[in-house]
Amino acid sequence: MNWGLIGASTIAAEHMIGAIRAQSGNVPAIVLSSDAERGAAYAKAHDVARATTSLEEILADDSVRAVYISTTNEKHLPQALAAIRAGKHVLCEKPLAMSAGEAAEMVKAAKAAGVVLATNHHLRNAGSHLAMKQLMDDGAIGDVLSIRIFHAVLLPDHLRGWRLNSAAAGGGVIPDIVVHDADTVRFYLEEDPEAVSAIERTSAMSAGVEDSAMSLWQMPSGVQVMTHESFTHPYATTGFEVHGTEGSLHARNVMTQQPVGQITLVNKDGAQPVSYSAHSLYERSVQKFVAAIEGQGTPAASGVDGVKSLAVAEAVKSAAQTGQRTLVTYPEMGK
Ligand code: NDP
């Protein structure tokens, strides 16, 4: 299957081009950049046959069945809608759009066109998280009481552009990382946060957008969730904990793009390490998307999942700005 890469991005270069090539018969065939010279250099550097500055050229190409969208966030909606209208299957980066309402338009359009729309939430593809989810589902920690997520990192120098200085491009740690944490919580608990409280901070690193956030989420089941996201923490290391009546899972360094981290199951018998599959998160995301196109199963994270993670992030932003506990509003997405 030929793919169109919409966006000459870092994430495509570092993870997704390789993840697409890892699927038998899948080829990143053409890349879109707004700058012809940069696009040509990018195509050459990553062995992509063609570069273009025309989205229409990609969408008119019948040999391209799927597109991967990894432009800055404000471009996702128009590019995805155009691709869907052209009959292409769409794997889109998170956040799906600038608002959950816009993202819901993508879901509705994909349903109407009969194409697959998936969100590239990588964490639910991690062997570490899959192993913890399995243990939780098997009753290893009893009834779940709470989840704590530590997702405060130091943003690498090469990513310190629009994420820190452009609200218009979807910058800020809330659209960037809270969406991942929301998707992770929804993956574990299989329910949608109903209300949030939050604070945010903008440090000297950023220009106008928040670069740290902390929030508390109320789940319909009563499970309590706390999350911490930041671009400014050099030494915090990431973590995930889920606590239950019969045990706790403590995981360090698992809110990451790599198949790494340590998991410990703690219960009345003491502390035991948990092993897991160290496969590529992004390869699994692409593999599930390709299988869904072939009619086998569903993507790891669907378009609906992308809408819901964004709705939680919106509520966190609103709660942080108003200082008020905020109900999460999930847009209508049709049947
Ligand atoms: P980049 O900043 O690398 O790329 C975004 C756009 O910026 C590109 O489409 C490109 O525009 C332009 N650009 C990139 N590098 C340069 C450069 N050197 N000079 C000028 N313009 C440049 O963004 P990321 O790869 O970090 O993120 C892209 C998307 O992917 C975002 O939506 C982000 O949220 C998401 N993301 C998801 C991750 C995940 O794990 N799921 C991880 C990281 C990002 P053009 O295409 O026009 O050339």
The confidence score (pLDDT) of residue 83 equals 98
Ligand 1 atom at minimum distance from 257 CA: 40
- Distance (angstroms) between ligand 1 centre and the Cα of 72 equals 6
Say if ligand 1 is within 6 A of residue 9 CB. Answer: yes
The confidence score (pLDDT) of residue 88 equals 98
The residue contributing the CA closest to ligand 1 atom 43 is: 11
Other C-beta atoms closer than 10 Å to the C-beta of 163 total: 22
The confidence score (pLDDT) of residue 187 equals 98
Q: Are 127 and 277 in contact (CB under 8 A)?
A: yes
- Distance (angstroms) between ligand 1 centre and the Cα of 7 equals 7
For 74, the enclosing helix (H) or strand (E) is: helix 73-85
The confidence score (pLDDT) of residue 334 equals 80
Say if ligand 1 is within 6 A of residue 33 CB. Answer: yes
- Distance (angstroms) between ligand 1 centre and the Cα of 250 equals 32
Say if ligand 1 is within 6 A of residue 180 CB. Answer: no
305, 299, 267: which is closest to 286 by C-alpha?
Answer: 299
User: Cα(243)–Cα(265) distance, rounded to whole angstroms?
Assistant: 10
300, 281, 257: which is closest to 91 by C-alpha?
Answer: 300
Say if ligand 1 is within 6 A of residue 8 CB. Answer: yes
Say if ligand 1 is within 6 A of residue 7 CB. Answer: yes
Q: What is the mean pLDDT of each run of 10 residues along the chain (335 residues)?
A: 98 98 98 98 98 98 98 98 98 98 98 98 98 98 98 96 95 98 98 98 94 98 98 98 98 98 98 98 98 98 98 98 98 87
pLDDT tens digit sequence for 287-303: 999 999 999 999 999 99
Taking the CA atoms of residue 303, residue 304, residue 307 and residue 309 in that order, the dihedral angle to the nearest 10 degrees is -100
